[in-house]
């Protein structure tokens, strides 16, 4: 013997179909609101406004990389992630023209808002350069770039996980 339920006498809030009709549109509104919140509060670091200009600069960057390779350039980088102190020692297999300052770039792989740029000053007559960045260096994938304007560039990718000190040997 089957028991039939008379849906006409059941209040609307006890009907499962009503809740299913309410649930899915409500879920879409909540998900849409969350998506808008995330889009507003995060950076779109991968989007470049002047992509054409960036594309034209790639040839110059390739020349910098070639020159550092021809010179046999190496850099030893010691970075204290807590204090932000950076010490870079340069050496090359050929004659190296040491400038009074070089540029140090710490570039996050996906979030450009975390990128840091600083000028490193030469320490006396040595091939060492010293400077500071804003600590701490957060966990993630990074690229270090050391650039002598108009001459050469060294770069190296690395991953950090709460590192206090980052020691690297960057070769061209």
Of all residues in the chain, what percent carry a pLDDT higher than 90? Answer: 21
CA angle 145, 76, 99 (to 5 degrees): 65
Angle of CA points 151, 156, 158, to nearest 5°? 160
What is the Cα–Cα distance from 2 to 44, expressed in whole angstroms? 60
- Domains in the chain: how many in total? 2
List the chain pLDDT tens, one digit each, 172 residues: 455 666 577 888 888 889 999 999 999 999 999 999 999 888 766 666 777 777 777 777 888 888 888 888 888 888 887 788 889 988 888 888 888 899 999 888 888 788 889 999 999 888 899 999 887 777 888 888 898 887 888 888 888 775 556 666 666 5
Q: Are residues 158 and 93 in the same domain?
A: yes
Whether omega before 78 lies within 30 degrees of 0, making that bond cis, reads no
- CA neighbours closer than 13 Å in the CB half-sphere of residue 153: 18
Instruction: Looking at the structure, tell me whether residues 28 and 58 fall in a common domain.
Output: no
Q: What is the average pLDDT score of the chain?
A: 83
| Residue-wise pLDDT tens digits, 61-100 | 888 888 888 888 888 888 887 788 889 988 888 888 888 8
Q: Is residue 109 part of a domain?
A: yes
Flag whether 3 is in a domain.
no
Q: Is residue 2 part of a domain?
A: no
41, 57 contact by CB (below 8 A): no
Domain of 157 in residue numbering reads as: 51-171
Contact (Cβ atoms closer than 8 angstroms) between residue 155 and residue 170: yes
Asked if the structure places residue 46 within a domain, the reply is: no
The answer to whether position 28 is within a domain reads: yes
Determine phi and psi for 99, rounding to 5 degrees.
-90, 170
Residues 29 and 80 in one domain: no
**pTM, full prediction:** 0.64
The rounded distance, in Å, linking the Cα atoms of 72 and 85 is: 26
Verify that 35 and 83 share a domain, yes or no.
no
Query: What's phi and psi for 12, nearest 5 deg?
Result: -60, -35
For residue 96, give the DSSP letter: -
Question: Considering the domain boundaries, does residue 131 fall inside one?
Answer: yes
Q: In whole angstroms, give the CA distance from residue 77 to residue 142.
A: 14
């Amino acid at each position: 013997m089957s028991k039939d339920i008379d849906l006409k006498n059941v209040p609307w809030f006890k009907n499962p179909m009503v809740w299913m009709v309410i649930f899915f549109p409500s879920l879409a509104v909540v998900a849409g609101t969350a998506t808008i919140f995330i889009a507003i509060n995060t950076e779109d670091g991968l989007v470049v406004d002047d992509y054409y200009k960036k594309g034209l600069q790639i040839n110059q960057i390739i020349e910098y990389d070639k020159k550092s390779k021809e010179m046999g350039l190496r850099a030893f980088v010691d970075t204290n992630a807590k204090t932000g102190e950076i010490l870079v020692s340069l050496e090359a297999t050929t004659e190296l023209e040491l400038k009074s300052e070089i540029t140090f770039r710490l570039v996050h792989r996906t979030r450009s808002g975390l990128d840091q740029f600083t000028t490193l000053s030469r320490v006396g007559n040595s091939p060492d350069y010293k400077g500071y960045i804003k600590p701490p260096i957060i966990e993630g994938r990074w690229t270090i770039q050391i650039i002598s304007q108009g001459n050469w560039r060294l770069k190296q990718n690395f991953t950090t996980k709460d590192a206090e000190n980052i020691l690297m040997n960057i070769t061209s």
